[in-house]
Amino acid sequence: MLSPGQEADSRYFMPLLEQISLPGSKGRPRKRCRCVLADKGYDSQILRQYCDRYGMQPIIPLRKMHRKPRLFDRPQYKKRNVIERLFSWLKEKRRLCTRYEKLASSFKAMVTLVCIEKCLRADFSDNP
């Protein structure tokens, strides 16, 4: 899902989770993940209620304005650094960062090509 740059990502949280299909061992794929890792921008009562309704554990740090404390799994949240490093690496590519492509399909193709390049460089590099 590709959203306009000027809109908040949290607006697309629920529609994005509706599109998820998690393959399992046998049978029909699961529609829900067990937990959701997100940053403070996603800390809202509506999103937390959505996660609770579908049995997902929201691992979202609290904003400073919260009055009542909630449980927060800090060790699990630290796993977010993997995806943050991926986005950081993708933003190093100027073509993706400035988004020269006008069509969403062209942009998706460019992201795919950049990821393929990264995998090929990792596989054929001399470094172990």
Q: At what angle do helices 81-91 and 104-124 cross, to 10 degrees?
A: 100
d(CA 29, CA 83): 23
pLDDT score, position 13: 83
Q: How far apart are CA 55 and CA 45, in angstroms?
A: 15
Q: Which of 96, 12, 106 is nearest to 1 (CA)?
A: 12
The domain ranges of the chain are 10-73
pTM of the model: 0.68
C-alpha neighbours within 13 Å on the C-beta side of residue 102: 0
Q: Check pLDDT > 70 for residue 89.
A: yes
Give the range with max mean pLDDT: 7-11, 29-33, 88-92: 88-92
Q: What is the pLDDT of residue 44?
A: 85
The pLDDT value recorded for residue 127 is: 59
Q: Mean pLDDT over residues 7-16, rounded? A: 80
In the block, tokens 């020269």 appear at: 100
Q: According to the model, what pLDDT value does residue 31 have?
A: 73
Mean per-residue pLDDT for 3-18? 78
